[in-house]
Structure 1
Amino acid sequence: MYIGAHPQIIACLCETSEDRDTNRTEEVLFGQMKSLAATITDWSRVVIAFEALWASNTGVLATPAQVQEALANIREWLRVNVSEKVANSTRILYAGSVSSSNCRELAQLEDLDGFLVGSAALKPDIIDIINARRPDVSSLISRFERSTGRQA
């Protein structure tokens, strides 16, 4: 996919139900991040998508707390292993089952920058998902402060 003149990479990180059930989510995600980081030279071209495989097209939804925990772990890994700037500027998406029924709550997660939508993109509910990220002023200020390290 090309956005402007810069090729973009969407790197998908996944956890299985076994990873979740055995409390190995962090270990699994960090292993995937380590492999990814070994090949990335320009993080400005990278978007990370997290997917709870056990929640995709199964009828079981990941809770917002479960999604936030995974996203925060990914962002913290970037902070510790790459840089503060990369951690603050890399977009992290949720690629699990997103629908009109859970998109607004998920959209409020601190470490979420958007959704990678699957089959829901083929349904009228996509309008709700698109509009779920409409920022209010406080979230714009928070994102500005996170990305620049300065207070608004």
Structure 2
Amino acid sequence: MNLKIIQLEEMHLNDCFDLDQKSLKGLWTKDQWQRELTDPKRICLGTIDIETKKLLGLCSAWLVTDELHITSIAVHPIHKRKGIGKVLISDLIKRAKALSTKHIILEVKDRNEEAKSFYKSMGFKIVGHRSNFYKDGSDALILTKGLFKK
């Protein structure tokens, strides 16, 4: 499988929404995805299969002064554990450094062991907790990754 990272745009709206439904069980509405794809302060990256042009993974983040806040990361269920998430986060880290971002922050469900392990492998550290953060009432852990040594 040959993969390519692309900047997602409004023309990818349906693909982003479909992947959200399959991988994240409808985290965002189509209107939320449209805002995500059109706001210049947001970075939306996608991993596509070069041959089929299918969107296999995506991540989005908000640029807030010197911080990049990852708001969503999804990989198509049949393509999980193939390194797609790692490629996306690695590319996002590279872009964040180019923008002189000091650190990256994200929330993850406190019971999502697979995601916690993934983020730990990418150098993220748990720095906090948000109670009742998700729609289903579950709590979130706050993770961060510094980008420049002090």
Q: Report the TM range for the smaller structure's normalisation.
A: 0.3 to 0.5
- TM normalised by structure 1 equals 0.39
Report the structure, 1 or 2, having the larger strand content.
2
- Greater RCO structure (CA 8 Å; 6+ sep): 1
Report the structure, 1 or 2, having the larger helix content.
1
- TM normalised by structure 2 equals 0.39
